A = this chain, B = another copy of it.
Amino acid sequence: MATASDDVRKKLKALGTKVTKEIEAKESPRIEIPVRGLSNVEYDEKSGLLKLGGQVSKRSFLNYAHAKKFMQTMLVANFAYNELLKTGIHTSLRDMFYALKRTLPGSNENTFEEQIESDHCVVDLEVSVDTLREDLHLSADVRGRVVGPVVIKDRGDTIDWAKLGSGGWAIPSNVEEIEFKKVDAKFILVIEKNAAFERLHEDRYWEKNNCIIVTTQGQAARGPRRLIQRLSTEYKLPVYVFTDGDAYGWYIYSVIKYGSMALAHTSDRLGTPDAKFLGLTMKDIEKYKLEKYTIKAKPVDIKRAKDMMKYDWFQTKAWQNELKTMLEKGYKAELEALSSKGLKFITETYLPEKIKNKDFLE
């Protein structure tokens, strides 16, 4: 069976072959790299994802301004091909930086000075050979835990997410190789905060409601995002994102659903267009009389709300209304405000009511 690893090895080999041929033909070797950054990010209505547009830049070895970056990109490509993919080893971006940092013989020139340089090369490789850092065997941040009626197979172990006590399964940075053996859930509930996850877990919310609960522990790392997407698409599971009603909560939701602007080339693999916002809304604050438990909006909340009002992917009536109300009221609210109604209010009232009434912000 051809694996993602075979596929990316083929792509990296093709890159190397192309560059070698150019050198042999005495041409300046070059690579084409789609432009990243806001100017080249588009909202693709059909897929419901943020994607890279068509702008491409060329990086040429015999161009004084490009030469070092060209060399760096080749070093990273070589490292991924020979040190990681060939050996089956995975490592982190920081470890790779240390592994590649050295002084070039007969010079005072270092291959890399700062990690940001090798990090950029990884993203350049991702977009130019159309792959993900996970497929290059490079791991990113790790956070997130999961519980629910799911059995997986991973590295030869069979793991039942329903039998992990008060803990849960610690989601690794790379979830590509995980095999789902049994998925009995009806939906996935994604929770921003670990404390709420523990509360739901203690009440066995996932068992009573036949769902998977995932905590992202803040901004979702790539492992949980890919895991949510795989479960959602492979098993047609709705995804509900339960966050604070503030700039940060909206952002967590937006990245899970549409992908991120900074890494728009990864949306296909990391975005879950079906995700729905179940987080605390301005309407909830009114309905549940939480005004006394709100917090004054900070400049970052106000700026983000204003930015979001302009984004193509937030041009729905409900979201425009939500953001407008937040700007008018000047406050925000955290999940924990619901605890003022009782410690079981979230599990026994808030979530069941909102899910039953399909009271999502869309």
Contact = CB atoms under 8 A, between A and B. Distances in A.
Interface of A: 83, 87, 89-92, 94-99, 101-103, 139, 141-143, 145, 152-159, 163-174, 177-178, 194-195, 198-199, 202, 217, 292-293, 334, 336-340, 342-344
A96 B340 CA distance: 8
A173 B199 CA distance: 11
Nearest to A88: B202
B195 A92 contact: yes
Return the 7 tightest CB-CB contacts between A and B, nearest first: A154-B165, A92-B195, A145-B170, A95-B339, A170-B170, A157-B163, A166-B172
Contacts of A102: 292, 340
Contacts of A152: 165
10 contacts: A92-B198, A94-B195, A95-B343, A98-B293, A139-B195, A154-B167, A157-B164, A164-B170, A167-B170, A168-B170
Number of copies of this kind of chain in the complex: 2
A171 B170 CA distance: 8
A168 to B, nearest CB: 4
Contacts of A154: 164-167
Contact of A166 (B83, B174, B344): B174
Contacts of A92: 195, 198-199, 336
Nearest to A344: B89
Given A95-B199, A98-B293, 7 more contacts: A89-B343, A95-B195, A96-B339, A98-B338, A154-B167, A164-B169, A165-B172
